[in-house]
């Protein structure tokens, strides 16, 4: 359930919703952090649910000491009127066996807000790729039938690679195939729900491994930016300069105390 921060908020016409899956390397969440920080997006509310692990913390995008005192929760909604963009940032994992309830609540909210399109940023285990997925770009996309009707030509023009179906029984029966996103969290379930509900949704993901996934987040965001044009300020070699949130200073802890030495 969406709860507005102050006054009632509703998305403008032709608004795009962008959100991450809690997936391998937290790549989608890191990419969304960069979007919110770079576009100076305003927090308009939060998504109240008992499906996510509870958490609270300081403002991850604080630019001064006063802003740092503001609190953040596990699922918050940010908006940019200029970009006609809404972002749902998810900061904690799903509680076990709550995936179905969470995706149901999410699809209900998406339909209520009548977003023009929904873009889910995700990731998948690189080591679990099928042989056909080992070549070429590490990026893949999925699009619901409704989205294919709306923007199929745009995706084709980008020459993106669609997520391959893999064999249900490798080496035994290669005829039966399905979409598999190992390490993708609720990606597959939300995608299937959006297909059933006729929602205009696209999944954009990157194959990666656990570790320092900041480069993966930048790469995924640059990839998506070629389509959505969230930020157009690029240098002569085509590099987009995303603004790193202040909270990333503590991404790997605060370091070893000097008194130890």
Higher per-residue pLDDT: 177 or 160: 160
- The vertex-59 CA angle with 240 and 94, nearest 5°, equals 90
Return the pLDDT at 11: 86
- Cα dist from 226 to 52, 61, 164, 240, whole Å: 31, 24, 22, 10
| Mean residue pLDDT across the chain | 89
Return the pLDDT at 171: 63
Higher per-residue pLDDT: 158 or 232: 158
Q: What distance lies between CA 107 and its chain's CA centroid?
A: 15
Q: Is the pLDDT of residue 34 over 90?
A: yes
pLDDT tens, position by position, 193-202: 999 999 999 9
Number of Cβ within a 10 Å radius of residue 115: 20
Integer Cα distance of 141 and 256 in angstroms: 40
Q: Is the pLDDT of residue 240 over 90?
A: no
What is the total residue count of the chain? 261
Is there a contact between 161 and 136 (Cβ–Cβ < 8 Å)?
A: yes
Q: Tell whether domain 12-260 is in CATH 3.40.50.360.
A: no
Is there a contact between 39 and 85 (Cβ–Cβ < 8 Å)?
A: yes
Banded model confidence at residue 16, pLDDT cuts 50, 70, 90: very high
Give the H or E element holding residue 78. Answer: strand 75-80
Question: Domain coordinates of the chain in residue numbers?
Answer: 12-260
**132: exposed, middle or buried (Cβ count in 10 Å: 0-12, 13-18, 19+):** exposed
Return the pLDDT at 169: 64
Return the pLDDT at 173: 63
């Amino acid at each position: 359930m969406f709860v507005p921060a102050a006054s009632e908020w509703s998305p403008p016409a032709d608004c795009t919703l962008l959100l991450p899956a809690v997936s391998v390397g937290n790549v989608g969440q890191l990419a969304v952090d960069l979007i919110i920080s770079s576009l100076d997006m305003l927090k308009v509310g939060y998504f109240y649910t008992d499906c996510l692990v509870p958490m609270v913390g300081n403002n991850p995008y604080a630019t001064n000491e006063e802003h740092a005192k503001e609190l953040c929760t596990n699922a918050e909604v940010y908006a940019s009127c200029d970009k006609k963009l809404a972002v749902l940032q998810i900061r904690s994992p799903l509680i076990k066996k709550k995936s179905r309830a969470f995706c149901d609540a999410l699809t209900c909210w998406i339909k209520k807000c009548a977003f023009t399109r929904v873009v889910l940023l995700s990731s998948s285990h690189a080591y679990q790729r099928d042989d056909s997925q080992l070549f070429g770009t590490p990026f893949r996309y999925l699009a619901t039938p409704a989205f294919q009707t709306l923007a199929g030509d745009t995706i084709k023009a980008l020459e993106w690679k669609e997520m391959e179906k893999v064999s249900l029984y490798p080496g035994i029966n290669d005829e039966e195939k399905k979409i598999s996103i190992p390490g993708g969290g609720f990606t597959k379930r939300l995608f299937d729900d959006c297909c059933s509900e006729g929602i205009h949704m696209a999944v954009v993901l990157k194959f990666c491994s656990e570790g320092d996934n900041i480069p993966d987040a930048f790469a995924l965001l640059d990839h998506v930016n070629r389509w959505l044009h969230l930020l157009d300020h690029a240098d002569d070699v085509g590099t987009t300069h995303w603004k790193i949130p202040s909270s990333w200073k503590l991404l790997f802890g605060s370091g070893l105390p000097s008194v130890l030495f």
